[in-house]
Structure 1
Amino acid sequence: MPPTATPPIPTVDSSEVELSIGGMTCASCSARIEKKLNRLEGVTASVNLATEKAKVSYAAGVEVADLIGTVEKLGYTAEEIVPAPPEATGAAPPLPDTTDLEADALRQRLTVSALLALPVVLMAMVPALQFDNWQWLSLTLAAPVVVWGGLPFHRAAWTNARHAAATMDTLVSVGTLAAFGWSLWALFFGDAGMPGMRHGFDLTVSRTEGSSTIYLEVAAGVISFILLGRYLEARSKRKAGAALRALLDLGAKDVAVLRSGTEVRVPIGTLAVGDHFVVRPGEKIATDGTVLEGRSAVDASMLTGESVPVDVGAGDTVTGGCLNTSGRLVVAATRVGADTRLARIAKLVEDAQTGKAQVQRLADKISAVFVPVVIGLALATLGFWLGNGSGPTAAFTAAVAVLIIACPCALGLATPTALMVGTGRGAQLGILIKGPEVLESTRRVDTVVLDKTGTVTSGVMRLHEVYVAEGVQEHRLLRLAGALEHASEHPVARAVTEGAAERLAAVDGTAQGSTGVDHFEGVSDFVNVAGLGVRGTVAGHAVLVGRERLLTEAGIELPAALGHAKEAAEAQGRTAVVVAWDGAARGVLTVADAVKETSAQAVRELRALGLRPVLLTGDNRAVAEAVAAEVGIDAADVHAEALPQDKVAVVERLRTEGRVVAMVGDGVNDAAALATADLGLAMGTGTDAAIEAGDLTLVRGDLRVAADAIRLARRTLATIKGNLCWAFGYNVAALPLAAAGLLNPMIAGAAMAFSSVFVVTNSLRLRTFR
């Protein structure tokens, strides 16, 4: 298995379920739930703090109710996420979005708390504002902030305490209640309640008499700062998941279905495979299908990232969720519900956002033991300051600062927020990242293996050069050859027909018909000569089109000039088609699988990323080397005439040489190589087998997106690592400062709250990736 493989795949008799988890506030919460679920026999779980979901695989004998019960016993809520029924069209509808409700509740609690806490903080920090009995006004204002404003922290801390656990809520609750409790003692039983009492403010620990010191500004200020951090975090998390919600909202809500020739508008959920439906200009295409009637331009930018609308006509496939910009279309539904391309894209993105990168698993392990260690450190700090004679005020202040500064919420948000934004931005650009493990691989990749047909080239034969014998007009050659080949279904014949029609339309200055028939005469006496070509009568001329041997058997010789043109084309790996009529050779047409216009630029971009491009194809060497030369791949890095098993062997050989290999392909014959490579990039225009085998899916059939995908994945991983470095570094640097008495608890609370905001904001920078 390649290193990018996801954690062990469940056995055949196992099932998977997604649970929506409520009540998580920090990384230690998600780590506790994950650890408890994984202790159940036959259960493998991954809990994501940012998405508030648990992805669980469980063996036979385990019930979903057991999983929910396990989570609830820890003091959290759990609910099974039920997938959309298969008959529903488009992406599965998400659970009701609670982010807005959460943000609204936090905003209300924050607003009240901040308005009450501001005078308390100002009076404590500015002695000039302290009038007689000001401390009692501070108590009156601070008490609602501590009790009501801090209620979510106290409630969570109590729930955790009942289950012998501690989280960041424990640190906030214990710290603020301790500061408030000390203040109450000093006011009612000490000297702090005396009229005329004045109180100075210091950024560091003060060594004053404990009975005359109050910490109401610390209790009220810390809760307000942390509520502000939670509110900004909730808003940022919504922005982080905006791309996925936009995908889920793309689908149409109703559709005009043709019933006995009459249009009937019905809910989207009633649409079935085989139904014919109408899409008018400005409407979204209801589901994946094939165009039966009409021509239009379809805007697929949300799915592919390509801003230019694509022209479609009868026989073309269209994707549900795309916008019909101009003409009226009649479409036959080919896929509905969870089978549609939109639904599968949304599922891939959601799965990627629910997973965890390896670096996050390390963070979770640290967070699981972090809070108990911090509580121990706070007690040790208290003991140290009391032991060296600094007095209870200094000891208490330092201990509270340790509790508050150490909250590990930034650790829990470092990876999932970056992953949410990165995968969402990728979906907008037509790049689907299957899971966080993929990000680890892109950093190490140094070789990229490119399949030729359908990846570097279009996979469709095109007419290239037209060589005519002396005295023969090119448009006459094209009319006769195109007319005869139009009667054949062979790919080479189709290339000749379409190419001739395009060129004749350009010469005549007329619009090309949908099949090019307008430019061709009728054909009679048509005969398909197996393996050699075709012959028939066009406009009274006996015409032959095919291999040179077809002419030889008819007693027709190829002139030297045409013979040289044929040999030169074949040396370049192109197919040469000879045309003759009335007993004489009249010209040579060259046909080849056209290299995509963007492939050469894509190879340059891949090289700029430090990758060595390798071309791998089942075609002959001449064709492969011609394509490689055109896009800028060295001949030494060309592997031709490769069967599917040979492609796997090439990838394995490169890996044994110590290379970390990415494979880009689109066909069934590429699936095994995609799975074998360290990183598989499947072209979304390819087969389902290739897409399933790939780690990254490039929705648009443009090789440049491969370079974009690797850049985005590397940028996302770099953001994750930057977030973790900040989160770890922040706690490592701040804890000693707090323990040393160099941080006032209120300043510590502000710094802790804004560390989480920084991590989320840093992740949101990925939304600007181009």
Structure 2
Amino acid sequence: MSTATREDSKKQGFSVDGMTCTACASRIQKVLSRTQGVQSARVNFATETAGITWDPEQIDEATLAEKVQKMGYSIRPAVNELLERKKENLKRERAASLRDRIIFSFSAILTLPLVLPMLFESWMLPPLWQWILATPVQFFAGFRFYKGAYHSLKSGAGNMDVLVALGTTVVYGFSVAQFFLPDPGHVYFESSAVILTLVLLGKIMERGARSRATRAMEELLSLQPEEARVFQSEDDGSSWELIDVRLLDAGDRIVVLPGERIPLDGTIDSGRSETDDSLITGESVPVVKAAGDTVYAGSLNLNGRLIVSVSRAVNQSSVARIMKLVEEAQNSRAPVQSLVDRVSEIFVPAVVIISLLAGSISYALGMGISESIIRGVAVLVIACPCALGLASPIAVVIATGLSAKNGILFRNAMALEISGKIRTLFFDKTGTLTLGRPEVSEIHPTGSIRELLETACAAELGSEHPLSRAIQDYCAKENIQVDSSGFHYRTVPGAGIQATGADGSELVAGTREFLQELGIEAANDNAEGSVVHVARNSKYLGRIILKDTVRAGVIESMNELKTMGIRPTMLTGDRDGAAAPVAEMLGIDFQAGLKPEQKLAAIDACDTTSGMVGDGINDAPALRRADAGFAMGSGTDVASEAADVTLTGNNPMELVNAIRLSRATIRKIHQNLFFAFIYNITGIPLAAFGFLSPMIAGAAMALSSVSVVLSSLSLYRFQFRYNEHSS
């Protein structure tokens, strides 16, 4: 049965400072467990955390902290920094949105009486009442623009706040002067109030659209459970206690019931179920999981009870890693943003100069002071640097969030942009185009087959290469056991492995060329598949032929890439006999028998924008050398760290989707920039020549930013394509 606690109990995770060894953790746990009102206490020295459940009617948090402090330690509420920061940001965003709505409502209520006389002339208010209504709008509702303008000018730059504050202040100040002159003239209080109200409305609409742009991050946040069922007894698998996930570390064992989300990454110890990994890997089909399989934090356990051994703490979980990459990508800048930055540096000063010229020329042409000021203000108000500034960042935020939700992680905005420019795409073979699970298909000994297998198995125990694992698995099935103790291993990437025993014996397994370099004559490679030649003490023992299976969906993906104008090419260290059948099946070019440095040379020789797709440690240099590196989800952490884009699933169509999304995003950014430039290029002259009033200019400026954001939101209509089956 599960461990129960009172419903009104309080449960909290704490960070513990001052512990120097496990004895410290045991002491704190023992003292807290014996404290009146504490129902349970669990202290973890490795993570320096404590999980405490207590009755708030008997003891409070301050007393607990004091109790620990008397022992020479200190506690404070534990924080999962990444997740908590995101939650705080979302909370602040909602609070800011509510504040904006309140200020806008206040501004709109006061502005409405100023606007109505434009429809009903008999409702015209006296100038005094117009001044009374417009003043709070100007200085209370408009305070954010004054504040923004101050900080902008203080830093030596200009932004939209400078233009809005300057334009509305000129109109308001001119109207005040007109009102208090001995011979009062026409006032324009309604213009300044309407401009500010419309811009505030635009900001609300823009914030709402931007919040939709970050909704993928909110969905990721919801995937991370806050508690996990932790074993309390090895004898009774049903005995568990709910523990804050922040207190768990690698090695802890947890229970996941059907219908629950898996709280942490780990390996299944026992149980069998199907998991929905769609929001982590992008795979839409439930995956069958059993003992020994890996499960991911945030995945949904569908129909079986699982006992999982935790492999990573919560800050290193799949959800945390995805969120970290998405955050880094969203905070990065696309190369096209450099153009926008250069334009923005001169935009505001140029607009101010144009405004002064428009007003001065109008006055010189005899249009009067009022009309001249109105034209100058219209220029200030209609100019919109925000539309330019939002053209790229919003599209990047949407694309990176959307891609993460579908199993594609761009490291930064540069990777997002470069991926769409690829014209040549290089592929590793084993584990990328194939499943990476080769099987022994033929054995050709020169003498004893057992001696051949024993030698091969002993040599291959020093490697984790897929071919090595396949030979080890085959030997295990044939009940061939060897003792590798005392052997010293030397691995030559792309060639083979050499093992030297304590008694001086030398075992060799690898390519024909590798054995020949060691002076061992090997048989010709004339079979289809990967061939491992084996020798002991310079005596050739024979060869083992292995065959791998092409990954499901690869053929369709290669065809799709070709239709996109991309040339797929396979680079492999395997021999021609193993590479040619795969390349022929896929209809792609290939280069075989390549050493790692030769793969780099092939990438360097490419005269178009190149990409590299791989999954192994040996692929890391090539992933870095290509313009864009793609790491498959089944690959190693080293490959993922070297890559610009990580494909968390094993569906080859994720690669196609990554490139398609990149192209769609860049098209959208260019479309946004075109609109923003055209808007300003046409709007500013129209305002300068008097075709637009300040109120219409203000409305146009507010809508321009919103329209750019709404345009970027159309990326949510992007359709991800998937093969019917993936492996």
Q: Equivalent of 2:550, from 591, 595, 607?
A: 595
| Equivalent in the alignment of 2:60 | none
Q: Equivalent of 2:167, from 165, 175, 195?
A: 175
CA deviation digits over 1:556-590, x for unaligned, max 9?
A: xxxxxxxxxxxxx97543789xxxxxxxxxxxx99
Alignment of 1:758 onto 2:707: yes
Alignment of 1:121 onto 2:115: yes
Which letter maps to 1:573?
A: G
| Equivalent in the alignment of 1:632 | 587
CA separation of 1:756/1:89 partners in 2, compared to 1, >3 Å: closer, same or farther?
closer
Q: Equivalent of 1:651, from 592, 603, 607?
A: 603
CA deviation digits over 1:453-487, x for unaligned, max 9?
A: 1111111136999xxxxxxxxxxxxxxxxxxx9xx
Which letter maps to 2:626?
A: A
State the shift of 1:369 in Å.
2.6
State the shift of 1:287 in Å.
1.1
| Equivalent in the alignment of 1:697 | 646
| Equivalent in the alignment of 1:723 | 672
| Equivalent in the alignment of 1:253 | 226
Rounded Cα–Cα distance in structure 2 between residues aligned with 1:153 and 1:528 = 77
Q: When the two structures are superposed, what TM-score results if normalisation uses the length of structure 2?
A: 0.73
| Equivalent in the alignment of 2:294 | 317
Rounded Cα–Cα distance in structure 1 between residues aligned with 2:164 and 2:644 = 41
CA deviation digits over 1:286-343, x for unaligned, max 9?
A: 2111100000111111111111111110111111121111111111111113332322
Rounded Cα–Cα distance in structure 2 between residues aligned with 1:673 and 1:119 = 68
CA separation of 1:114/1:493 partners in 2, compared to 1, >3 Å: closer, same or farther?
same
Q: After TM superposition, which residue ranges in structure 1, 4 or more long, deviate above 6 angstroms?
A: 84-87, 493-498
Q: Equivalent of 1:241, from 211, 214, 217?
A: 214
CA separation of 1:178/1:436 partners in 2, compared to 1, >3 Å: closer, same or farther?
same
Rounded Cα–Cα distance in structure 2 between residues aligned with 1:162 and 1:714 = 39
Q: Equivalent of 1:458, from 421, 435, 444?
A: 435
State the shift of 1:145 in Å.
2.3
| Equivalent in the alignment of 1:149 | 141
Q: Does the CA-based 8 Å contact 1:156-1:170 persist in structure 2? A: yes
| Equivalent in the alignment of 1:747 | 696
CA separation of 1:88/1:229 partners in 2, compared to 1, >3 Å: closer, same or farther?
closer
Rounded Cα–Cα distance in structure 2 between residues aligned with 1:107 and 1:529 = 74
State the shift of 1:702 in Å.
1.6
| Equivalent in the alignment of 1:711 | 660
CA deviation digits over 1:645-699, x for unaligned, max 9?
A: 2221221222xxx222111111111111110111111112200111111111111
Task: Give me the identity figure in percent.
Answer: 39
Rounded Cα–Cα distance in structure 1 between residues aligned with 2:151 and 2:144 = 11
Alignment of 1:573 onto 2:522: no
Alignment of 1:608 onto 2:590: no
Q: Does the CA-based 8 Å contact 2:529-2:546 persist in structure 1? A: no
Rounded Cα–Cα distance in structure 1 between residues aligned with 2:82 and 2:335 = 32
Rounded Cα–Cα distance in structure 2 between residues aligned with 1:166 and 1:90 = 33
Which letter maps to 1:688?
A: D
Which letter maps to 2:561?
A: L
CA deviation digits over 1:496-536, x for unaligned, max 9?
A: 899xxxxxxxxxxxxxxxxxx9xxxxx9xx55799xxxxxx
Q: Equivalent of 2:304, from 315, 327, 338?
A: 327
Rounded Cα–Cα distance in structure 1 between residues aligned with 2:275 and 2:167 = 59
Q: Does the CA-based 8 Å contact 2:171-2:189 persist in structure 1? A: yes
Q: Does the CA-based 8 Å contact 1:88-1:268 persist in structure 2? A: no
Map 1:265-284 onto structure 2 (within 5 A): 265-284=242-261
State the shift of 1:89 in Å.
9.7
Rounded Cα–Cα distance in structure 1 between residues aligned with 2:169 and 2:347 = 21
State the shift of 1:163 in Å.
6.2
Q: Secondary structure at the match of 2:599?
A: helix
Q: Does the CA-based 8 Å contact 1:353-1:435 persist in structure 2? A: yes
Which letter maps to 1:303?
A: I
Rounded Cα–Cα distance in structure 2 between residues aligned with 1:694 and 1:370 = 37
State the shift of 1:222 in Å.
0.7
State the shift of 1:373 in Å.
2.2
Rounded Cα–Cα distance in structure 2 between residues aligned with 1:287 and 1:328 = 15
Rounded Cα–Cα distance in structure 1 between residues aligned with 2:384 and 2:178 = 27
Which letter maps to 2:616?
A: G
Which letter maps to 2:617?
A: V
Tell me the C-alpha RMSD between the 2 structures: 3.1
State the shift of 1:85 in Å.
11
Q: Does the CA-based 8 Å contact 1:90-1:320 persist in structure 2? A: no
CA deviation digits over 1:85-128, x for unaligned, max 9?
A: 9995985642442211111111111122223323322312x3x4
Alignment of 1:384 onto 2:361: yes
Rounded Cα–Cα distance in structure 1 between residues aligned with 2:124 and 2:260 = 70
Q: Does the CA-based 8 Å contact 1:684-1:698 persist in structure 2? A: yes
Rounded Cα–Cα distance in structure 1 between residues aligned with 2:716 and 2:618 = 35
Map 1:8-27 onto structure 2 (within 5 A): none
Which letter maps to 1:370?
A: F
CA separation of 1:339/1:174 partners in 2, compared to 1, >3 Å: closer, same or farther?
same
Map 1:473-622 onto structure 2 (within 5 A): 571-573=527-529, 592-622=547-577
Q: Does the CA-based 8 Å contact 1:243-1:424 persist in structure 2? A: yes
Q: Equivalent of 2:193, from 220, 232, 239?
A: 220
Rounded Cα–Cα distance in structure 1 between residues aligned with 2:292 and 2:712 = 43
Q: Which has the higher contact order (CA 8 A, sep 6+)?
A: 1
State the shift of 1:387 in Å.
1.2
State the shift of 1:153 in Å.
1.4
Q: Secondary structure at the match of 2:392?
A: helix
Rounded Cα–Cα distance in structure 2 between residues aligned with 1:353 and 1:257 = 35
Q: Does the CA-based 8 Å contact 1:401-1:738 persist in structure 2? A: yes
User: Where do 5+ consecutive residues of structure 2 fail to align?
Assistant: 1-75, 443-456, 462-467, 484-524, 533-543, 720-727
CA deviation digits over 1:131-167, x for unaligned, max 9?
A: 4655555444333322322221133334555666543
User: Where do 5+ consecutive residues of structure 1 fail to align?
Assistant: 1-83, 193-210, 466-484, 499-516, 518-522, 531-568, 577-588
Which letter maps to 2:642?
A: A
State the shift of 1:415 in Å.
1.1
| Equivalent in the alignment of 1:186 | 178
Rounded Cα–Cα distance in structure 2 between residues aligned with 1:285 and 1:90 = 19
Q: When the two structures are superposed, what TM-score results if normalisation uses the length of structure 1?
A: 0.69
Q: Does the CA-based 8 Å contact 1:142-1:220 persist in structure 2? A: yes
| Equivalent in the alignment of 1:109 | 103
Which letter maps to 2:96?
A: E
Rounded Cα–Cα distance in structure 2 between residues aligned with 1:307 and 1:228 = 40
Q: Which moved more, 1:343-352 or 1:134-143?
A: 134-143
Q: Does the CA-based 8 Å contact 1:91-1:340 persist in structure 2? A: no
Q: Secondary structure at the match of 2:391?
A: helix
Q: Secondary structure at the match of 2:436?
A: strand
CA separation of 1:663/1:131 partners in 2, compared to 1, >3 Å: closer, same or farther?
closer
State the shift of 1:248 in Å.
3.1
Which letter maps to 1:718?
A: R
Alignment of 1:340 onto 2:317: yes
CA deviation digits over 1:147-193, x for unaligned, max 9?
A: 3222211333345556665432121112112212222333343766x
Q: Secondary structure at the match of 1:458?
A: coil
| Equivalent in the alignment of 2:630 | 681
CA deviation digits over 1:602-621, x for unaligned, max 9?
A: 00111111001101122221
Q: Secondary structure at the match of 1:266?
A: strand
State the shift of 1:739 in Å.
1.2
Which letter maps to 2:625?
A: T
Q: Secondary structure at the match of 1:282?
A: coil
Rounded Cα–Cα distance in structure 2 between residues aligned with 1:607 and 1:214 = 66
Map 1:277-426 onto structure 2 (within 5 A): 277-426=254-403
| Equivalent in the alignment of 1:440 | 417
State the shift of 1:413 in Å.
1.2
CA separation of 1:679/1:86 partners in 2, compared to 1, >3 Å: closer, same or farther?
farther
CA deviation digits over 1:374-415, x for unaligned, max 9?
A: 222211222111112121122111001011011311112111
| Equivalent in the alignment of 1:670 | 619
Rounded Cα–Cα distance in structure 2 between residues aligned with 1:623 and 1:529 = 28
Rounded Cα–Cα distance in structure 1 between residues aligned with 2:645 and 2:157 = 39
Q: Secondary structure at the match of 1:708?
A: helix
Rounded Cα–Cα distance in structure 2 between residues aligned with 1:457 and 1:610 = 23
